[in-house]
Amino acid sequence: MSKLSAVRPAYWIAGVVLAVSVVVPLLVSTYARDEPRLWGFPFFYWYQLMWVFISAITVSIAYQLVIREERRRRAAQGLGKPGEGAK
């Protein structure tokens, strides 16, 4: 069995979600214009600010996916919750 097949789909989905929130704001052709304006602000400014909030949401989604998968993996191995160590 290869190491690649041991990677769960939740990790791939989390990676893609995070990659989208990084790559799309870097595509200059998506925001290199002045119109449409929102409350007097040029498109560039409110588009970039919108991506701040979208990125926060995507990071939250990726975190939840990874934590859920990690809990599932630890439960299958008979381990406790993450962070519980020997005392």
Domain map of the chain by residue range? Answer: 8-75
pLDDT tens digits for 35-51? Answer: 888 888 888 888 888 99
- This model's pTM is above 0.85: no
| Residues 6+ positions from 58 with CB-CB distance below 8 Å | 17, 18, 20, 21
User: Could you tell me the pLDDT band of residue 84, with boundaries at 50, 70 and 90?
Assistant: low
Asked whether residue 71 carries a pLDDT value surpassing 90, the answer given is: no
- Residue 82: the pLDDT is 59
Residue 14 CB burial class (10 angstroms; 0-12, 13-18, ≥19) = buried
Helix (H, G, I), strand (E, B) or coil at 41: strand
Give the model confidence (pLDDT) of 4-31 as tens digits. Answer: 456 678 888 888 899 999 898 888 887 7
Residue 74 · residue 84 · CB < 8 Å: no
